Amino acid sequence: MHEGYNRDVKRAWAILVLAGACVVCLGDAASDAARAELARERRRLASDVRSLADTSRRLEQALNQLASASRVVADSAARGDPPDEVARREDAVSTAEQEVRSTLDRRRLLADRVIERRRTIAALESDSSKKTADALTGKWTIIQDPGEQKGSFRLNLDGTIVSGDYALEGGFSGSLRGTLVSDRLRLERVDSELGFSAVYYGRVARDWTTIVGTWESTELAGGAPSGGRWRAVREEEKEEGP
């Protein structure tokens, strides 16, 4: 009897040790994933900082060209040049204005992205793994503009790491990967046929029932939208019958 009891105790201890080892392995895997995401985010930040510096220089050049073109028009008008000549020089001003607006929009986008990346890195560097798993895990109904394209995201949150899959109107489907830091969500959409096709940025509501944000396409196909806004609503989980 004592031998049977001892065997049961040893078996129980073995099970507990094995379970503890599994927990440690899972914890190490999650930690490794978080470190890998932090490294990726730092690389993205470095790339965006370089792009921001380059775009800022281009903006300065565009502003100088606009100022120069404007002076040329003023001088031409003061000299009494023919109207066609003044109009031609004014066209150059319009072209320079468009370049300034386009470069300025690009610079603002990059500046906002750098700010968001720094916030994400700061949060990843801190202990943000205390987020409860049900903060994001589940199925979400989404609407993506322009065009009010409908679909669904199925998400899973592990610490700060987000994974999942999606389906959109038009037969698009694939996987999702990204991070949730505080209430800031970043998702990369990997289409089953097109590959890495879009990046989603969003803020999750305090009650974890809605998400709103913007998206950017990584595809440069002519005629396709380059980005827009999107929103998501958490679907209520259906209780299974007995």
Place of tokens 């002519």: 222
pLDDT of 103-137, one tens digit each? Answer: 999 899 899 889 988 888 888 776 444 444 467 89
The mean pLDDT of 94-98, rounded to a whole number, is: 91
pLDDT at 49: 92
Residue 20 pLDDT class (50, 70, 90 cuts):
very low
Residues 23-62 have pLDDT tens digits of 334 444 555 677 788 888 888 889 989 999 999 999 999 9
At 30 the pLDDT is 53
| pLDDT attached to residue 181 | 87
Whether cis (ω within 30° of 0) applies to the bond prior to 146 is yes
Residues 216/199, Cβ–Cβ less than 8 Å = yes
Position 9 pLDDT exceeds 70: no
Better-predicted residue by pLDDT, 36 or 153: 153
User: Is the Cα torsion angle 114, 110, 51, 190 positive or negative in sign?
Assistant: positive
pLDDT (tens digit per residue) in 202-239:
999 888 899 999 999 887 665 667 889 999 999 876 54
- Which residues fall within 8 angstroms of residue 188, CB to CB, at 6 or more apart? 176, 177, 178, 196, 198, 199, 200
Q: What class does CATH assign to 133-234? A: mainly beta
What is the DSSP secondary-structure string of 154-209?
Answer: EEEEETTEEEEEEEETTTEEEEEEEEEETTEEEEEEEETTTEEEEEEEEEE-TTSS
Mean pLDDT of 66-83: 89
Chain mean pLDDT for the chain: 81
What's at 156, amino acid-wise? N
